[in-house]
Every structure is written in structure tokens, then in C-alpha cells.
A = this chain, B = another copy of it.
């Protein structure tokens, strides 16, 4: 096991750790530790909401979640010698839920201690990809069995997770941060009262910036970019293939690179469609770090990281696939090559299909967020209809979900957790 360079006590808030982590992107947040290129390290991580969600059968905690504190990240980790323009090479050696010692119970209170959850946020507190169809909060608890997961809230499925960190990234330079804030505010200004909002501006309330306090903390709160979207520093990619064996090449924007991350997912489908759609957990990630000096220019990397995906994801050879096009079918309104809308329709088509087997729409939605489904951009040139497809592995179901002349095997499939 590599040295633990960032420790988390899962019984405490991220604010109360020895090294407290942070929840905004800002170059002034000081490194928690400095390591050499070539190091192998372990980073412990807190679940992204800092433990607000419980192992219970009500979605009230999801409905009432305080999103100003998200994502709770571990880091920053400085890499000796890293300079702006370099590529930071990050190998994901291993990762998983919270490791348990000899005396630990099989299941603890924090997400990652034997369980995780998938949530659908309420429309007026977070929202999600299909929030107009699913405006209320709901939740599914998942039990971990080695690398497999089952849920009492979605019976009849069992699958191996493609475990990955939702979020890792380097610190932005002050200049890059200013550009982010400028362009995102410009977007917000196009519809400032929208619910859910178009983007999240810096927000001092809830800000955590490592050991910073006073005016230094205030400045990070005023300027620091929220961690929700992916940007030029990496960030919240939610790419499920950042799994064991993956190698990611991050752009370096500040001296030392300042790598931070967390938001571990036991499993997730492409798109993480419920917003909190992965199986969320705390845990650990083992990394190997290295540098390609000047790599950004050498390889023409100007915006986002490049990566080699992991090679131990669960193998599936049979999928039932759903298609969507960029038409709003409710009003029969045609949009122009809109892949987001096309993927949305593919998801809605999958949900409608799964309903014929007895699942509620909420169960189906939660499942598509959490299971290892693949989302493909199939066509983006056949005007006016973009075409996206969703690949659902048939082996995750305990029954045959393929269409046949006999019709679907309808059954009582229970219910997920909803809010009161």
C-alpha cells in the first residue's frame, strides 16, 4: 500500500479533519502535502456532500441537502518541479470504498462504509437531467458485495461497478479562474432567475479552503470556482472509465500542479443522468504521479486532459440499446443537432421500456444513473436530428429484458426511497 498522503476520518466532517480539504477551485489554497514525481500515494476521500445522506428509506435528506458545501475534495497535492505547461501524468492504481480494519463493523454510518447511494435531486434544489419529468427527490441505497452492488430499492439487478473518482483536477491559475468566472456569469446573466440555475457563481457561504481563514478564506469564497462542472483543469468529469489502470494527463496551470479530487463513485452510467446519479461514497484512491515537462504544447493539449481508460472494467457482451433524437416529442418541436436532447430521449425511452417490466419511472431513472450503461454520440451530422444511444447491459438483470413475442416479465419490483 502506498503512503497515505491525505487522511480522512470518516466520522468527522471534512472541516474537522487534520488537513481539511477544500470545496472550491482557487490557486491560493495551499498544498496539503508535496510529493516527488514518481511517487505512489494514497488519498482518502470523503463522500462529496460531506456525509449529509443516510442509509435509510427516506429521500428527505436528498431533498434538503446543502449543496453549498460540495464537492468536498482531498488535496491539494503539490508535485515537485511541476510547471505551467506541463502534463501531470496520473495513474489510477486502485480505488474503492472506505477500507475497514479488524474491529470495524461490516457497515458504518458514512457512505462508503459498506454502502453507497444514488439520488435524484429536487427541481428547486439541484435538479438533474430529467428534472422536469422528475421534480421530486428520490433515492436508492446500494449494498456493496466486493465489486458488485445490489439495492433493496431496485430489486432484480446486480452488477459489477466501474469504480472511479468523479472529480480530480489541477488548480487553475488566477487568470484562468477569472476567465471561468467571466464566462459562466455571462451565461447566468442570460436567464438569472432560472430554476434550476444555468450555472453556479462563486458563493462564499459554505466555502472550505484548507487551512485558510479570515480574509484569505473570504477571498477564496468570493472568487473560487464551484466544483460542479469539468473545465480546463480537469475537474468533475464523471467519466466512468477513469477506473483502475487508467492514466490521465492533466494540464498544469500553476507551479506544483496542485492536484485535488474526490467524489468517488462505486459505479455510474455514462452521463450520470440523475446528477447525483453515481453510487456515491467515500473511500480511497491510490495514484502514481509523474510529469511530462512542456507536454501541453508538445502534444497540442490546450483545454481538457487526455487519458488512457482502465482495462478492468466489467466485460459485457450483450446490450439492449435505446435511441433518441433531437426532437421534443411532447410538443413535436424539432431542435437542431442537439445531442443533449437526443440522449435525454434515449434515457426516457429506456425508462418507458423498463416500466413495462414493473419498475417505477423513478427506479428506472435511478438505475440508469448508477449501472454501467454506455451513452454514445451516434450521429451529429444528419440534420436536423442528432442521434444518441444508450447501451444497457442485459446481464445486470436477473431476468431476460430482451423484447420477445411473449412480452415483458412484469412483476412487483418494490419501490425506491421518496421524500415525505
Which residues of A are in contact with B by a Cβ distance under 8 Å?
1-4, 7, 40, 87, 89, 91-94, 99-102, 104, 106, 114, 128-129, 145-148, 160, 179, 182-184, 186-187, 196-200, 228-231, 236-241, 244-245, 249, 270-275, 277, 286, 288, 292-293, 295, 298-309, 311-325, 327, 329, 332-340, 342-346, 349, 352-353, 355-356, 374-389, 391, 395, 402-405, 407-408
Contacts and interface: CB of A to CB of B under 8 A. Distances in A.
A129 B386 CA distance: 11
Contact of A183 (B327, B355, B407): B327
A43 to B, nearest CB: 13
Given A270-B378, A340-B340, 16 more contacts: A183-B333, A198-B384, A229-B325, A239-B389, A271-B377, A271-B381, A272-B379, A273-B381, A274-B381, A275-B381, A301-B353, A304-B346, A304-B349, A307-B320, A308-B319, A376-B376
B298 A407 contact: yes
Contacts of A3: 106
B377 A245 contact: no
B303 A385 contact: no
Contacts of A239: 323, 376, 378-379, 387, 389
A365 to B, nearest CB: 12
Closest 9 CB pairs of A and B: A93-B146, A94-B146, A375-B377, A229-B385, A339-B339, A300-B352, A304-B323, A199-B384, A238-B379
A128 B380 CA distance: 9
A321 B302 contact: no
A382 B229 contact: yes
A317 B316 contact: yes
6 contacts: A7-B102, A245-B314, A275-B382, A277-B381, A299-B403, A303-B329
B336 A387 contact: no
B271 A325 contact: no
Contacts of A343: 339, 377, 380
Contacts of A345: 303-304
Given A198-B384, A340-B339, A405-B292, A147 B312 contact: yes
B129 A381 contact: yes
Contact of A229 (B183, B321, B383): B383
A97 B53 CA distance: 32
A318 B323 contact: no
B40 A145 contact: yes
A346 B239 CA distance: 13
A230 B385 contact: yes
Given A179-B332, A377-B376, A352 B302 contact: yes
Contacts of A272: 379-382
A395 B236 contact: no
Contacts of A277: 381
